[in-house]
Amino acid sequence: MDQIAAIIVAAGRGTRAGEGLPKQWRSVGGRPVLDWTLRAFRRAGLTRLVIVIHPDDRAQAEALLAPGEILVAGGAERVASVRAALEVLAATPPARVLIHDGARPLVSATVIADVLAALADAPAAAPALPVVDALWHGAQGQVTGTAARDGLYRAQTPQAFDFAAILRAHRAHSGPAADDVEIARAAGLTVAITAGCEDNFKLTYPADFARAERRLTERHAMDIRLGNGYDVHRFGAGEGCWLCGVLVPHPRALQGHSDADVGMHALTDAIYGALAEGDIGRHFPPSDPQWKGAASAIFLRHAVDLAAKKGYRIANCDVTLVCELPKIGPHAQAMQARLSEIMTLAPDRISVKATTSERLGFTGREEGIAALATACLIADEKVPT
């Protein structure tokens, strides 16, 4: 997907949506509309996102960014906003580019995949729905005539293009345009039509937000997964133990093929378990020398990214470390903060705590440390079974 970029246009003010925040910043299902839109593209595997925003919105937009995504200040009109993003991409041009309205948060991975696939046979493609309703002309509240609907479509986004071709088209275009298909056709590009989706509507009027809320609620209903993880590492020679990403002072170190972070290993396995994806050994075999001494943050980040790719977000997680020593309490907050950084998850959704085994068993004899973890995953979008 490195040769594919997506431009998300979210610089408008959305006056038809009524009073209040611009529509891309209004809350739907507990998140800003633009947040849902960005998540839809990430789920579809897109990693090179350019978000076009109003200059006044930079601070709140930065809070939504994932690594590698960039912000571009938009222009007074949509054409200028898209052109600004294209010019930024031109420094290291992708082969193909998607251009999408930030106020279409319910776009599916199928719609995205279909327009990209259509570029194999055309320099441009866009999703659309055929018009099925009767069409009228009207004036002063009365019908003044009818119009044929044959061959008419309702345009949607993302609209997909050969990057070099749409960049040339934008540079040559002057004046306004309804969308990028209009600019492409003015440049002589053939535009293929792919299947749109009724859910991929643009939030325009106040009633659209309630409709989007209902659809998001339907998508998320009852799609919750739980996973458990358990891990053990013995003490051996060395100083200090890596526990939940923090090097805790101790006269001995935990032994293992990687950095032996028992807490992070248990948490990683909990996420893999919720996804029915096995354990760390399946994804990072201990027989592979490249993982010798590896930081366990690599494993946890992989599990978190895999969850996102499969359409899930982590609602919360809980890690319990079982040991007599070292004392975990003085370091628990730092562990929580480090896990939050690795997982890109709010600290108040991460619990790190400890208990002893009352001097019983191998942990009681201070031969090693055990860890248990639970992770709760919620689907951002229903995942096909």
For the record, the structure tokens of 112 come out as: 């995205």
Residue 385 domain flag? no
Q: Are residues 127 and 200 in contact, defined by beta-carbon separation less than 8 angstroms?
A: yes
Q: How far apart are CA 217 and CA 93, in angstroms?
A: 38
Residue 171 domain flag? yes
Q: Are 66 and 206 part of one and the same domain? A: yes
The one-digit pLDDT tens for each residue of the chain (385 residues) are 569 999 999 998 766 655 668 899 998 988 899 999 999 999 888 999 999 999 999 999 999 999 889 999 999 899 999 999 999 999 999 999 999 999 999 999 999 999 999 999 999 999 999 999 999 999 999 999 999 999 999 999 999 999 999 999 999 999 999 999 999 999 999 999 999 999 999 999 999 999 998 888 777 666 789 999 999 999 999 999 999 999 999 999 999 989 999 999 999 999 999 999 999 999 999 888 899 989 999 999 999 999 988 888 899 999 999 999 999 999 999 999 999 999 999 999 999 999 999 999 999 999 999 999 999 998 865 433 3
Residue 287 domain flag? yes
Beta bridge partners of 16: none
Q: How far apart are CA 334 and CA 170, in angstroms?
A: 50
Query: Of 190, 220, 250, at which residue does a domain stop?
Result: 220
Residue 315 domain flag? yes
Query: Of 163, 196, 220, at which residue does a domain stop?
Result: 220
| Phi/psi-derived region of residue 237, left when phi > 0, alpha when psi is between -120 and 50, beta in every other case | beta
Q: Are 104 and 178 part of one and the same domain? A: yes
- Total-model pTM: 0.62
Q: How far apart are CA 7 and CA 341, in angstroms?
A: 27
Q: Are 168 and 237 part of one and the same domain? A: no
Query: Of 220, 251, 279, at which residue does a domain stop?
Result: 220
Cα–Cα nearest to 202, from 46, 381, 23: 23
Q: Are 152 and 175 part of one and the same domain? A: yes
Q: Are 338 and 240 part of one and the same domain? A: yes
Q: What is the pLDDT of residue 29?
A: 83
HSE-up of residue 378 (Cα within 13 Å, Cβ side):
12
Q: Are 215 and 239 part of one and the same domain? A: no
**What total number of domains does the chain contain?**
2
Q: In terms of DSSP bridges, do strands 368-379 and 312-322 run parallel, antiparallel, or are they unpaired? A: antiparallel
Residue bearing tokens 């792919």:
194
Q: Are 38 and 109 part of one and the same domain? A: yes
Question: Which residues, 6+ apart, have CB-to-CB distance to 380 below 8 Å?
Answer: 39, 43, 219, 220, 311, 312, 313
Q: Are 241 and 138 part of one and the same domain? A: no
Residue 265 domain flag? yes
Q: Are 162 and 239 part of one and the same domain? A: no
Q: At what angle do helices 109-118 and 33-43 cross, to 10 degrees?
A: 60
**Consecutive H or E run containing 70:** strand 70-73
Domain of residue 274, CATH code: 3.30.1330.50
Q: Are 16 and 92 part of one and the same domain? A: yes
For the record, the structure tokens of 326 come out as: 């070292």
Domain of residue 86, CATH code: 3.90.550.10
Residue 199 domain flag? yes
Residue 384 domain flag? no
Distances (CA, A) of 95 to 9, 48, 122, 297: 19, 12, 13, 33
Q: Are 275 and 203 part of one and the same domain? A: no
Domain that holds residue 163: 4-220
Cβ neighbour number for residue 331 with a 10 Å cutoff: 21
Could you tell me where the DSSP H helices lie in 150-296? 163-172, 180-186, 206-220, 262-274, 280-283
Q: How far apart are CA 320 and CA 271, in angstroms?
A: 15
Residue 186 domain flag? yes
Give the angle 253-256-257 at the CA atoms, nearest 5°: 135
Q: Are 250 and 265 part of one and the same domain? A: yes
HSE-up of residue 110 (Cα within 13 Å, Cβ side):
11
